Structure 1
Amino acid sequence: MLNRPVKTLSLAIAATLLTACNSMEPRPYTVEEQQQRILEDQARMYADQEPVTHPISFYEAVARALKYNLDYRLKLMESALAADLRDVSSHEMLPRLVASAGYAGRNNDSGGTSIGIEDRQQSLRASTSEERYRDIDSLGLSWSLLDFGVAYYRTQQKTDQIMMAEERRRKVAQNVLQDVRNAYWRALAAQRLMPEVDQLLQRTHSALASARSAEDRGLLPRQEALAYQRALIDSIDLLSVRRQDLEFAQAELSALMSLPPGSKMVLSDEPEPQMPELKADIGSLEQAALENRPEIMEEWYRKRVNANDLKIAKAQLWPNVSVNWSYQYDSNKYLYNNSWSETGLQVSVNLIRLLQLPALNNAEESQTKTDDTRRLALSMAILTQVRVGALRYQLSHEQLEFANESLRVDQSLLSYARAAKSTAVGSELEVIRAEGRYLLSRYQREAAYSNTQAAWGRLYNSIGLDIMPEVVKSYDVKTLADELKRKMDQQEQERLLPLTQGSTNASTQS
């Protein structure tokens, strides 16, 4: 029969367990909690950003993207997490020192009697050598050779994973640079051309209405009037499509820089850097790519991580040596010694697991071949990217020269049309058509220049050149932009451009 305190304790434990079970029921977030989460996330996304107070240059756009881009910040946190996990793993190599203190009790005495082995007769009366309630304390130190070996290899793995996280961070930074380069020059073209596009669209719509009116009044032959209307409609269609492209570029750049919604973005309309001619030897570019690409380095570190996995599996096959020492205390007054120390040395081996050794040797060989083949396949793909990137840049550079020539011709045609303008309706329409062609040529020239910049960025990225200084967070945007410009100029001069005076000047301009 249980006494009252035991019954009360049992009921309390049962009630606690029932409450815990009820708390495990699914509980969706409320609408208020979702709204609060959205507000907090939005505040954190745009927290601690320097306000935009002046037109943004290309290097400042890159600096803002790298400083405030959430993907890049995530990779930084992954690197920090990998370093913390390495520190945690390194502590597992230390011996275990366990201290414990407790209280033991029972509701009756512990004890017994003795009987003779041969005659089965009771030889002692019932007795006890243990108090009902006593304190128990201990301090134990233990060390295992197997645990030390496993922790050692785990720490090496964590160290390599730090390097892998760092390579992924490098890759994200390189991708951010390429994306900003792709978007910035298109956004700058949008800033330059959109007011003129809007103005010409308005004039073209007015001219279309005038052409229809001239057709209705018979001022122009019907076929000629319809031909003008067709030309104007085609021009409106082309200009509308180009306008959408320009708007998308501005939105993309704003997102890359993580600007808060509603921020006014004005780009610095400075003279365009002259695009240099690529004359570097393709072999040196390929060599630089094999040395610098983060993906290759990450795969190389991954090979060591995989090798350490197999080393851990092998270490678990060999004999384990464990050393133990402990200090014990028991308050039991019937003990002759209430405190004592214990020491022990134990050697153990799992003989059955030794059968895994041949399979582990085969797995190690296969893993090495797989890692090497994966790295070689990646290297081949990277070499292809370098060759294609160099060819694409050369072709885009030629296309830029052609676009410049085309723009020159259309500008001359526009000047001629304006000079020959008369009061006739057809003459006005011809001027508008010439302006439309000229504006489209300007767009094509701006697109050719941005494509050349994008091709240069892809070549830069395919070689895996670093642009980041050691510290990013502590730099303001202007200082970081200056450091990025200096680093990029240095990398281009050393890796992408021939070591001649002319190419060095071109690199400095770019």
Structure 2
Amino acid sequence: MAGNPLKRLTAALAPVLLLSACGSLEPSPYTQDELRKRVTEDKVRMYVDQEPVTVPITFYEAAARALKYNLDYRLKLMEGALASNLRDVASYEMLPRVVASAGYVNRNNDSGGTSVGIEDGQVSLRASTSEQRERDLYGLGLSWSLLDFGVAYYRTQQKSDQILMANERRRKVAQNVLQDVRNAYWRALGAQRLLPQVDGLLERTHKALAAAREAETKGLLPRQDILAYQRALLDSVYLLTVRRQDLEFSQAELIALMSLPPGTRMVLADMPEPPMPEVTRDIDRLEQLSLENRPEIMEEWYRMRVDDYDLKIAKALLWPNASINLGHQYDSNIYLFNNSWNAIGLQVSFNLLKLAQLPSLNAAQQSQNQTAEARRTALSMAVLTQVRVGYLRYQLARQEVAFADESLRVDQRLLEYAQSARTASVGTELELIRAEGRMLLSRYQREAAYSNAQAAQGRLYNSIGFDVLPEAIEKNDVRTLAAEIERTINSQRGLLAGNEAKTDVAAKP
């Protein structure tokens, strides 16, 4: 046969190729060029397909950018897509298996044999064979197992619950991202408002320090008084410098949250501050919402079902298995009367010893359910505590804002008095700088108090489990998504104030 030499050569080379492959399994670290290429590609991938920043950024647009382009949130979206794909893969396991096979058989001698009489032990036939040394085999078969179908069904249900768990994790990441934006945006906006004045006052303070040292040298003021002024100016410089660093850090943090390249110059819209609503005193209703909406509780609930399916699979493996096999076979052996044939088979198997596992599995299922319920109950208790603590923190933060507003008004009046009493003397100039420094520190404390109140409000939202996102973020541009976030947050403010009509808008879809 013309094809036989090629088949023999392939059979002879297969061991050689296998040994060669085994010999090449040595560690192969990446080269420096490969590392540089990977770094370059990662940098491009971090900021790809982002809408450019062309206008001042509002809080809602900052939230929209963070939620649309944040890499952690993208990762959770990918995890959800992966779980969905794995569910689809598991569902195919319920289908019958259709196997196509082809093979080649070669032996160096003939098979065959003789027939021996049972009663006398005499050879009744001379040695003969009914099988060629070289044969081609082909087959196409279908097999379906009842046990495999049951296991695949449970695994598909498991994967479906894992998709829901991934969605809950995505919700939690989205809530945390929005919380971080709340913390950073209002501090960054305060930085944008205060940094020019802080820089100007620092420059004036350094000049005043130089003038104070000159006045000390010339004896224009009593030495004790001028040293006290210098001490006050140095304290003001220190406090202003520390606050300035905090303001700059908040801007860098906001840039990172929006996944903008480091060093990006951005301008925040100096929008009116949203009011801090009075929260309803019906804590029981907020606690009820939190138990219904918190993603951690929902994820734990789905995990209980996922774990339960593991035990169901283990129990399914205890029962009898019925399998059906259908197939068409072909054998090129010229000595066969029929070279092709169809076959059908039915087989039932049962491992009786596995039934001994059933009591242990039932006990394990009971213990697992009790553990899951205890874990969920403990988590629910922690959630209720978070709601009450979040409510108290928010109330205290609102009081802190009111106190900071009053302090700022007093310091502004003191600054106005110092400006009206200003003269050309060194002492008056120093007093004016001190008054202006106190006023700026009060403004910083007021901005910090308001940002803390916003953060407390966000923590209260998170403790209740509020969602602020449509189902498909990637299908919305930044402006549309920002409008959706603004609408939902306004609805949630109404809910916190006790407006029952907006409950469905603010609660989890």
**TM-score, L = length of structure 1:** 0.95
Aligned match of 2:329: 328
- Asked whether 1:152 is paired with 2:153, we answer yes
- SS of the aligned residue for 1:112 comes to coil
Cα distance in 1 between the residues matched to 2:423 and 2:69: 56
User: Secondary structure of the residue that 1:51 maps to in structure 2?
Assistant: coil
In the other structure, the counterpart of 1:376 is 377
2:497 aligned residue: 497
- Pairing 1:37–2:38 present: yes
1:325 deviation in Å? 1.8
> What SS does the aligned partner of 2:474 have?
coil
Cα distance in 2, alignment partners of residues 100 and 5 from structure 1? 20
Deviations 1:375-398 (Å, cap 9, x if unpaired)? 000000000000000000000000
Contact 2:278 2:496 in 1 (8 A): no
Distance 1:142 1:7, change over 3 A: closer
The answer (yes or no) to whether the contact 1:138–1:326 under 8 Å persists in 2 is yes
Pair 74,326 (structure 1): closer, same or farther in 2 beyond 3 Å:
same
Change (3 A) 1:480 1:9: closer
Inter-partner Cα distance in structure 2 for 1:180 and 1:287: 27
Deviations 1:162-181 (A, max 9, x none): 00000000111111110000
**Paired AA for residue 413 in structure 1:** L
Matches within 5 A, 1:289-304: 289-304=290-305
SS at match of 1:262: coil
What whole-Å deviation, never above 9, does each CA across 1:377-420 have from its counterpart, x for those lacking one?
Answer: 00000000000000000000001000000000000000000100
**Does structure 1 conserve the Cα–Cα contact (< 8 Å) formed by 2:60 and 2:482?**
yes
**What is the aligned partner in structure 1 of residue 231 from structure 2?**
230
Query: Which structure 2 residue ranges, 5 or more long, are not aligned?
Result: none
**Shift of residue 125 of structure 1?**
1.2
Summarize the alignment of residues 428-443 of structure 1 with structure 2, pairs less than 5 Å apart. 428-443=429-444
Distance 1:433 1:309 in 2: 70
SS at match of 2:265: coil
Distance in 2 between the 1:357 and 1:235 partners? 76
Change (3 A) 1:264 1:362: same
Return the letter of the residue paired with 2:154.
Y
Deviation for aligned residue 1:485: 0.9
CA deviation profile, 1:454-488 (whole Å, cap 9, x unmatched)? 10010011111111112211211111111111122
Whether the aligned pair in 1 keeps the contact of 2:252 and 2:262 (CA below 8 Å) is no
Deviations 1:307-344 (A, max 9, x none): 11111111111111112222222222222222222222
1:191 & 1:241 partners in 2: Cα distance?
Answer: 16
Does the Cα contact within 8 Å between 2:277 and 2:496 map onto a contact in 1? no
Does the 8 Å contact 2:216/2:223 carry over to 1? yes
Shift of 1:17: 3.0
State the 1:81 CA deviation. 0.5
Alignment map for 1:366-445 (pairs within 5 Å)? 366-445=367-446
CA distance in structure 1 between the partners assigned to 2:10 and 2:160 by the alignment: 50
Give the drift of 1:116: 2.7
Structure 1 distance, partners of 2:500, 2:488, is: 19
Change (3 A) 1:69 1:281: same
Question: Aligned Cα RMSD in Å?
Answer: 2.0
Provide, for residues 112-169 of structure 1, a one-character-per-residue CA deviation record: whole Å limited to 9, x for no partner: 2223334433221111111222322222111111111111110100000000000000
Cα gap change, 1:133/1:11 in structure 2, threshold over 3 Å: closer, same or farther? closer
User: Taking every aligned residue pair, what percent have the same amino acid on both sides?
Assistant: 69
1:7 deviation in Å?
9.6
AA of the residue aligned to 1:391: L
Aligned mates of 1:124, 1:15 — CA distance in 2: 43
Distance 1:16 1:233 in 2: 79
Contact 1:90 1:155 in 2 (8 A): yes
Q: Which residue does the alignment assign to 2:51?
A: 50
| 1:128-277 mapped onto 2 (5 Å cutoff) | 128-277=129-278
Measured in 1, the distance between the counterparts of 2:137 and 2:65 equals: 62
> Following superposition of structure 1 onto structure 2, how do residues 472-483 of structure 1 map, counting pairs within 5 Å?
472-483=473-484
> After the TM superposition, which of the residue ranges 244-253 and 481-490 deviates more from structure 2?
481-490
- Name the counterpart of 1:318: 319
Question: Displacement, 1:83?
Answer: 0.5
Bigger mean CA deviation after superposition, 70-79 or 279-288: 279-288
Following the alignment from structure 2 to structure 1, what is the Cα–Cα distance between the partners of residues 84 and 281? 39
Relative distance call for 1:168 and 1:6 in structure 2 (3 A) is: closer
Residue of structure 2 in register with 1:96 after alignment: 97
- For the Cα contact (< 8 Å) 2:404–2:449, is it kept in 1? yes
Determine if contact 1:280/1:496 at 8 Å carries over to the other structure. Answer: no
Residues of 1 paired with 2:139 and 2:103: CA distance? Answer: 9
Q: 1:179-218: per-residue Cα shift (whole Å, max 9, x none)?
A: 0001000000011101111111111111111111101100
**Unaligned 5+ residue runs, structure 1?**
none
Provide the C-alpha distance between the structure 1 equivalents of 2:16 and 2:348, rounded to a whole number of angstroms.
47
Distance in 1 separating the partners of 2:80 and 2:87: 11
Stretch deviating more after TM superposition (11-20 or 169-178): 11-20
Q: Give the structure-2-normalised TM-score.
A: 0.95
Task: State the distance in 2 between where 1:20 and 1:139 align.
Answer: 32
Alignment-mate amino acid for residue 290 of structure 1: L
1:425-477 deviations in Å (ceiling 9; x for gaps): 10000000000000000000000010011100100111111111122112111
Amino acid at match of 1:145: L
CA distance change for structure 1 residues 473 and 25 in 2, over 3 Å: closer, same or farther? same
CA distance in 2, matches of 1:262, 1:242: 20
SS of equivalent residue, structure 2 residue 157: helix
Question: Shift of the alpha carbon at 1:8?
Answer: 6.7
CA distance in 2 between partners of 1:7 and 1:371 (Å): 61
* Alpha-carbon distance in structure 1 between the residues aligned to 2:11 and 2:66: 61
In the alignment, the residues of structure 1 paired with residue 484 and residue 421 of structure 2 have an alpha-carbon distance, to the nearest angstrom, of 53
* C-alpha displacement of 1:9: 6.0
Query: d(CA) in 2 for partners of 1:10 and 1:134?
Result: 14
Contact 1:174 1:461 in 2 (8 A): yes
- The letter for the 1-side match of 2:34 is E
